[in-house]
Chain A
Amino acid sequence: MTVLEQERIQTQSTSKTFRVIGRRVPRPDGVDKVTGRAQYGADVKLSGMLYGKVLRSPHAHARIVSIDTREAEALPGVKAVITGKDFKPAEDRVERSGEGVVNYSYLSQNVMAQDKVLYHGHAVAAVAATNPHIAEEALARIKVEYEVLPPVLDVLEAMREDAPILLPNLRTRELGEPVSDRPTNIASHEQYARGDVERGFAEADVIVEREFRTSTVHQGYIEPQNATALWNADGFITVWTSTQAAWDERRELSEILHVPISNIRVIPMEIGGGFGGKLNVYLEPLAALLSLKAGHRPVKMWMQRDEVLKATGPTSASVIRVKVGARRDGVITAAQAWLAYEAGAFPGSPVGAGMGVIFAPYRLENLLIDGYDVVVNKPAAKPYRAPGGTNAAFASETVVDELAEKLGMDPIAFRRINAAKEGDRRADGPVYGRIGYIETLDAIANHPHYRSPLPAPSAPWCRVGRGVASGFWFNWDGKSSASAIVNPDGTVSYLEGSTDIGGTRASLAMQLAETLGIDYTDVRPMVGDTQTVGYNDATGGSRTTYGSGIAAYHLGKAIIRAMKERAARLWDVPAEDVDVDGDTYCYGERCITFKALCAKLEETGGPLSVSVSVDTHGAIPALATHVVDVEVDIETGKVSILRYTAAQDVGRAIHPDYVEGQIHGGVAQGIGWALNEEYVYDADGHLLNASLLDYRMPTALDLPMIETVLVEVPNPNHPFGVKGVGEVPIVPPAAAIANAIYRAIGVRMTTLPMKPSAILKALGTIP
């Protein structure tokens, strides 16, 4: 195996040198993870525990006429059966949650169908029994009578006036207000407008206009959803689950179960991937209600893979039309887009984010962007890494590539002419802070990959090509809390509340250690739960290293203040006169290290613990530019990725390994989305490929070693310069690969996935 030289480009020579930040230290959870000792939801075992299973709809769209659970209840070992009737309606109210918003009424109907099932796999009943086999057998004894309705499975068809209606009370909203009283599948229409696109197109020398389609894809986390719940006799509910958002889930449980949040404790277990798909509840409220109904016995539930694919995630299929015009000198004069995203069964596709992403890398005077959120008979869409971004960039970055080609310009040079900088205004309103887009373009333009000739094809029937694309992601800041115990041995026990999904225990502990001037190994991080640490927004939106990092910084500052007081007490001097430099506290000539001071806690006021809660602001978006070499077998249509390099403005790489890991992961998922992943439905709306055998995520053999260039343009709003890094890497790959395929075979691919049969069709080889 070749070990790749991973590059780091520091754009701002800071006088500051860091003690811990920027090092590749071992992760605190490493040993437990590699030895299998880490506690995941599947490891939860409680005395008297029951096992729950869900009965799911075999239809994509149907009215539930009746459910007869008597035979299931009569089966020995069955302790509880629930259906939609056991759920009191939740309020039809929208609140921010995770990376997006949540409507509790829809969420409740998603976890358990009420009068209608809206997708193949929609939950209709659940059973708790003394073992999982009995629970499964009980499911077979539940009789559900359905009146099957025609499904609608495509966004454009769902938008037609004569389409079957999923939600009879749904009305189209614009800017939050209903605009018609007609039943519809179009949940919302939003628009961003600036300047005058007609005039802009009139000024253009070249205009490219195309329509794109993308398929439904799943986040593909390896650990299935799971939950164990105990609804205790005292009315308190404890839930052990795999989640990115313990506090959001507590709120959701409260709304769905009509129990105050103070009666609910959500304990996030280790998580085997989420990518946005574990921001909302699925099994948690079912397990809780079963526990109540079974006489307060704990109930454990976990999904099988087909349930994960049928009923959780995925992200939206979409239709996107893009029109961009440019002058001969390379300046873009106008950009227009029309986006329609499938929300699945309930409103809430990431079309708004797609509208923000679609032209974000560019400075535009004239733009017009329309977006539609449309319900269809598929599972309710959930966030997936830069939600809506990959779809949007696939469309816009293909058109940008084509414009460059028509103008006879290098695709990077063309982008550079139009690149957004600090002070430019985004389509969705905000003005850019210190972004590093141009720096990523330059990093690719100067990279040996981009400067090297294409490799020769490996066979006479193969063609090679190179493509480039850029991407944008907003990045989030949000609220975080943390607390610390300063131990007499000089270590700090650090309790934070962000689920560690990508190495954040390490990158947060590093920021605390840096702030305190102590060794990384002297900070002992641990992830708390809703009962043990203050509120934390979700691990999502690329916010954790940023927002929880700021909390770690403030926690460190609070510890330093307290330690100054301890030193002051020790020497009987005023605390404000104690100076701190790194881990050393001084008053005049007298100095003491952090560690030594810890040994004196007893005599200077006793035990020391500190907590902070912060509402952070100042996240700066991430921008990235990718280059890829592909080889296309023109006889089979198969596309192989030969080489892949991603340059990204990462602000400051706190832990370079985990930043690179995020880029590798995002690119890998982007390649899967580009080449083979898709939900395959039959005409009746049955999902045909609900297994990882037929839902073709890339395996290790489908991916090259992915090269990264970490471009560090520090964020001035963060004490260490952090920008979110986790999501943007999934945005450019589909477009970069489409552009590379075009250079290889001369055909513009406008539909995802660009699977072998689609390539053969585009080449005219097969009908």
Chain B
Amino acid sequence: MQAFEYVAPRSLDEATHVLAHVGAEARCLGGGTDLIAQMREGRRSARVVVDIKRIPELDALKFDPIHGLTLGAAVPCSRIHSHGAVAAAFPGLIDAVSLIGGIAIQNRASLGGNICTASPAGDSLPALLVHNAHVLLASAQGTRRLPLSAFFVGPGKTVLRPDELVVQIELPAPPAGFGAAYLRFTPRNEMDIAVVGVGAAVVLENGLITQARVALGAVAPTPILVPEAAEALVGKAPSPEVFADAAAAAQRAAQPITDMRGTAEQRRHLVGVLTWRALQRAVERARVSQLPQPTAQ
């Protein structure tokens, strides 16, 4: 690893100023669970490392049932899954953040880091997509807000400019009858990279699915939403057959490759299995969320 400069700005202005000044040779540091490993292995270099954890906006976690969730980009996973109200409202997200690495990793790893690493196998990505997440980006020029689905360009590539950083991730408040789940397949039970990841979200009204989202990880250059799977679900009563139709649509949408972690055939097969199971779990949760909830926290 080569020597680098370390700065820890205290404000967004200060941070964007540094990025504007240093440009492509600067790298943001969240939890460092990707960046430090990559720098040590010589896969990434940086002249200036910009620690973003001390910027108030990036360290904030705000939730209310009307406006939804605003997640500072540097908030570690463990702060998300230990937040009772957030855990209840965003079950798909919670599945994902409880899976990343292990306990030690979750105490450092952030979702800003997970999406900026932009691995097609990043676990929070399909979960955030089915929760309909948006991202707020900032640079010295100002801010822009875009749907997360428009953020990813390819493996390790996003629309983020070198002078920009992710400030926060925003998730709308889920409607009544909402349920979501994220499932991944890994040969080991922890410390593994998803061979396939599937996020699913549904809204149940009067026994029918009125809204649905299905997102896939590790089967395309970026995580993908599968509108065809959603179409197979909307307007139907949940059933094993309906899940199977959606699963088949997801399999058709997947463009898996063969690599060290799995073959294309295995991945396509698993997309079907996991989509079915994720939908089943999302529907179960949607049903539970329709039951009268205890009001006192």
Contacts and interface: CB of A to CB of B under 8 A. Distances in A.
Chains A and B bind each other: yes
Interface of A: 133, 136-137, 306, 635-636, 638, 675-676, 680, 688-689, 692-694, 696, 698-699, 701-702, 755-757, 760, 765-767
A756 B188 CA distance: 10
Contacts of B261: 694
A701 B190 CA distance: 7
B187 A755 contact: yes
Interface in B16-41: 41
A702 B186 CA distance: 11
Closest 10 CB pairs of A and B: A701-B189, A766-B265, A688-B260, A635-B273, A757-B266, A701-B190, A676-B187, A680-B260, A702-B189, A766-B269
B127 to A, nearest CB: 19
B260 A694 contact: yes
A692 B191 CA distance: 9
Given A636-B270, A693-B191, A702-B190, 20 more contacts: A133-B1, A636-B273, A638-B187, A676-B187, A676-B188, A693-B193, A694-B261, A696-B187, A696-B192, A698-B188, A701-B189, A701-B190, A702-B188, A702-B189, A756-B185, A756-B266, A760-B269, A766-B266, A766-B269, A767-B265
Contacts of A133: 1-3
A757 B261 CA distance: 10
The CB with the most chain B CB atoms within 10 A, among A680, A688, A693, is that of A693
For the complex, would chain B's binding face be called helix, strand, loop or mixed by DSSP majority?
loop
A766 B267 CA distance: 10
Nearest to B185: A636
Contacts of B102: 699
A638 B270 CA distance: 11
Contact of B260 (A137, A689, A692, A699): A689
Contacts of B2: 133, 137
B187 A756 contact: yes
Nearest to A680: B260
A767 B267 CA distance: 12
B262 interface: yes
Contacts of A137: 2
Contact of A766 (B188, B190, B192, B263): B263
Nearest to A137: B2
A755 B262 CA distance: 10
Contacts of A760: 266, 269
Contacts of A702: 188-190
A354 B134 CA distance: 59
Interface of B: 1-3, 41, 102, 185, 187-193, 260-263, 265-266, 269-270, 273
Nearest to A766: B265
A137 B266 CA distance: 41
The CB with the most chain B CB atoms within 10 A, among A635, A688, A698, A701, is that of A635
Contacts of B191: 692-693, 699
A757 B262 contact: yes
Contacts of B262: 757
A699 B189 CA distance: 8
B270 A693 contact: no
Nearest to B196: A636
A392 B201 CA distance: 49
B95 to A, nearest CB: 16
A66 B263 CA distance: 39
A121 to B, nearest CB: 15
A563 B192 CA distance: 60
B144 to A, nearest CB: 34
Contacts of B192: 693, 696
Contacts of A680: 260
23 contacts: A133-B3, A136-B1, A306-B41, A638-B187, A675-B187, A676-B187, A688-B260, A693-B192, A694-B261, A696-B187, A699-B102, A699-B188, A699-B191, A701-B189, A701-B190, A702-B188, A702-B189, A756-B185, A756-B187, A756-B266, A757-B262, A757-B263, A760-B269
Contacts of B185: 636, 638, 756
B227 to A, nearest CB: 25
A306 B42 CA distance: 13
Nearest to B40: A304
Nearest to A765: B269
Contacts of A694: 193, 260-261
A676 B260 CA distance: 12
Contacts of A757: 262-263, 266
Contacts of B265: 766-767
Contacts of B41: 306
A157 B193 CA distance: 32
B30 to A, nearest CB: 19
